[in-house]
């Protein structure tokens, strides 16, 4: 299970890549593996205001629907439109081409509440 | 996770199955992935553990009359070595279950029922013994069942037996077939829409058969296949799943299974109610729908038309072979026409769909 050291993680299995006041959001390798074949992704709309721990969209596998929660608060400035036609990018490259959206952080201090790679790995071991 | 284990539970773990609880059983929803497994069954072969299914033997001099009273289909012309599908109904026409009847002899039949319904069916059958001289034996716990399905199923199975399994006709079976040295019943039936076999064995022999079939099918590209693709495969063929397209509220007529309801045979449970329903018109019908908008219909989602709720989704998911999102919907009969445009309420969004013909997939002959 890949857990890149440079990313931050939520306990709901989303990852965040922080660059200045922007954060890219996706779901973790563990999450995509648990879901199975992703067949549909509902991404937020550009300009939508996200609140930390609240829903930002849904990901559906063949047999299940899962909510994706925003790990941070802020305004959506970019969404991954490729997921509309290629939802499997989430399975194939969860930390890369399977990114979901980019937000402009409204409360950068929230980053400190997220888990680092080590803490997230520990969480996975506890849940297993 | 709590649940009963089939004799193949250890194999599922060993083969990387993701175990879920289903109808009180611990079974794999998938191994390598639902889409890959679905495709394997459509193009090559897949091996399912269906040991959770219920096997009830019915024997005795009145067994034929007992079964004729129980099932909606007609068994009059069922010959030894043949299998027949049938719903069974309550007196009010509501569906108790759907099942397979195997005729082993004039006074010996096997009834194969859905796992989640074993106890309910058992009680219902006991209640219906009445004056009939019939003995029922529930052998579900000592019977294993494997389903080998797909265009390569025959090729694979033939490697493991000298019996002429290729000569078994569709909905026919052979008794006392040695497969990989184990005594089995080989039935040319399935729940996938492909050619294939359902193989019944002693529970303790199931792991040996599993290993033998997986090894024999290696060069054909066999995959172990889970409940996830079992559902998407049957869904593409619009085969009903009890609890979705059939229930105490959904009669076989409403489910579109009229060809398995022989209203003109002698009396049977539910006949009067079903005759009445047929005469007065069905309130709702199970129809097929293609989702034309962006979204996936899921079981339970409301179906709307002309601003009102006309029914609900009974099963919905992608249909992998078609590359489309499809649904089975139970809707008011007034709207149940091919080409009718409807909407599925997907978490508050009205997603357009259109009523289409069933089945969604039929295997090339």
Residue window 287-316, chain B: list those with CB within 8 Å of chain A. 294-296, 298
Residue A34 lies in a domain: yes
Whether A39 sits inside 8 A of B296 (CB atoms) is yes
pLDDT of residue A128: 72
CA distance B128 to B67: 9
Asked if the peptide bond before residue A15 counts as cis, ω within 30 degrees of 0, the response is no
Q: For B30, which of A36, A40, A84 is closest by C-beta distance?
A: A36
pLDDT tens digit sequence for A62-116: 989 999 999 999 999 999 999 999 999 999 999 999 999 999 999 999 999 999 9
Report the sign of the C-alpha dihedral through residues B40, B44, B48, B50, in that order.
positive
Paired tokens of B310? 């006309």
Paired tokens of B109? 């039949």
pLDDT tens digit sequence for B164-205: 999 999 999 999 999 999 999 999 999 999 999 999 999 999
CA distance B70 to B84: 13
Give me the helix-helix angle, B227-236 and B34-43, nearest 10°. Answer: 50
Q: Whose CA is closest to A114, among A6, A2, A1?
A: A6
Residue A128 lies in a domain: no
Using a CB-CB distance cutoff of 8 angstroms, which residues of chain A are in contact with residue B294? 40, 84
Of the pLDDT bands very low, low, confident and very high (cuts 50, 70, 90), residue B253 is very high
Residue A82 lies in a domain: yes
Residue A115 lies in a domain: yes
Strands B349-356 and B284-291, sheet pairing: antiparallel
pLDDT of residue B115: 95
CA distance B166 to B154: 6
Residue A55 lies in a domain: yes
Residue A117 lies in a domain: yes
Q: For B296, which of A36, A60, A84 is closest by C-beta distance?
A: A60
Of the pLDDT bands very low, low, confident and very high (cuts 50, 70, 90), residue A127 is confident
Domain that holds residue A50: 8-122
pLDDT tens digit sequence for B277-296: 999 999 999 999 999 999 99
pLDDT of residue A115: 97
Read off the pLDDT of each residue in B324-333 and give the average, rounded to a whole number. 98
Residue A62 lies in a domain: yes
Q: Could you report the predicted ipTM of this complex, rounded to two decimals?
A: 0.88
Q: Considering its fold, how many domains does chain A have in total?
A: 1
pLDDT of residue B346: 96
Whether B295 sits inside 8 A of A40 (CB atoms) is yes
Q: What is the dihedral of CA A123, A125, B2, B4, to 10 degrees?
A: 150
SS3 string, A38-79, reads EEEEECCCCCCEECCCCEEEEEEECCCEEEEECCCCEEEEEE
Whether B34 sits inside 8 A of A58 (CB atoms) is no
CA Rg value for chain B: 21
Read off the pLDDT of each residue in B17-25 and give the average, rounded to a whole number. 92
CATH of the domain at A103: 2.40.50.100
For residue B106, pLDDT over 90 is answered with: yes
Report the sign of the C-alpha dihedral through residues B284, B296, B323, B149, in that order.
negative
């Amino acid at each position: 299970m890949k857990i890149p050291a440079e990313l931050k993680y939520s306990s709901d299995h989303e990852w965040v890549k922080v660059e200045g006041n922007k954060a890219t959001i996706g779901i973790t390798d563990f999450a995509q593996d648990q879901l199975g074949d992703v067949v549909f992704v509902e991404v937020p709309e550009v300009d939508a205001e996200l609140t930390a721990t609240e829903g930002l969209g849904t990901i559906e596998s063949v047999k299940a629907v899962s909510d994706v929660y925003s790990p941070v608060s802020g305004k959506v400035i970019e969404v991954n439109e490729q997921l509309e036609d290629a939802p499997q990018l989430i399975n194939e490259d969860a930390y890369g081409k399977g990114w979901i959206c980019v937000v402009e952080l409204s409360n950068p201090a929230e980053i400190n509440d997220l888990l680092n790679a080590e803490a997230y790995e520990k969480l996975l071991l506890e849940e297993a | 996770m709590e649940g009963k284990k089939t004799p193949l539970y250890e194999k599922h773990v060993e083969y990387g199955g993701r175990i879920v609880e289903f109808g009180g059983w611990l079974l794999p929803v998938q191994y390598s992935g639902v889409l890959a497994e679905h495709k394997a069954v459509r193009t090559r072969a897949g091996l399912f553990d269906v040991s959770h299914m219920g096997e009830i033997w019915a024997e005795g001099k009145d067994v034929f009359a007992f079964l004729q009273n129980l099932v909606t289909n007609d068994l009059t012309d069922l010959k030894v070595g043949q299998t027949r599908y049938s719903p069974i109904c309550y007196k009010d026409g509501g569906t108790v279950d759907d099942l397979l009847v195997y005729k082993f002899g004039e006074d010996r039949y096997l009834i194969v029922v859905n796992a989640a319904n074993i106890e309910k069916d058992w009680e219902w059958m006991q209640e219906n013994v009445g004056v009939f001289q019939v003995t029922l034996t529930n052998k579900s716990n000592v019977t294993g069942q494997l389903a080998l399905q797909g265009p390569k199923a025959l090729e694979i199975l033939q490697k493991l037996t000298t019996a002429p399994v290729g000569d078994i006709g569709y909905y026919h079976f052979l008794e006392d077939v040695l497969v990989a040295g184990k005594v089995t019943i080989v039935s040319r039936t399935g729940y996938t829409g492909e050619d294939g076999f359902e193989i019944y064995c002693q529970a303790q022999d199931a792991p040996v058969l599993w290993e033998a079939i997986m090894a024999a099918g290696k060069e054909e590209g066999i995959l172990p296949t889970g409940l996830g693709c079992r559902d998407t495969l049957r869904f593409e063929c619009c085969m009903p799943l009890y609890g979705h397209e059939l229930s105490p509220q959904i009669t076989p007529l409403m489910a579109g299974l009229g060809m398995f309801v022989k209203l003109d045979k002698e009396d049977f449970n539910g006949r009067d109610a079903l005759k009445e329903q047929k005469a007065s018109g069905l309130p709702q019908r199970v129809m097929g729908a293609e989702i034309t908008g962006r979204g996936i219909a899921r079981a339970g989602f409301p179906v709307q038309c002309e601003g009102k709720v006309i029914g609900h989704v009974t099963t919905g998911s992608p249909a992998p072979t078609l590359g489309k999102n499809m649904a089975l919907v139970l809707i008011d009969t007034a709207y149940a026409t091919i080409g009718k445009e409807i909407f599925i309420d997907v978490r508050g969004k009205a997603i357009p769909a259109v009523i289409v013909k069933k089945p969604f997939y039929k295997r090339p002959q």
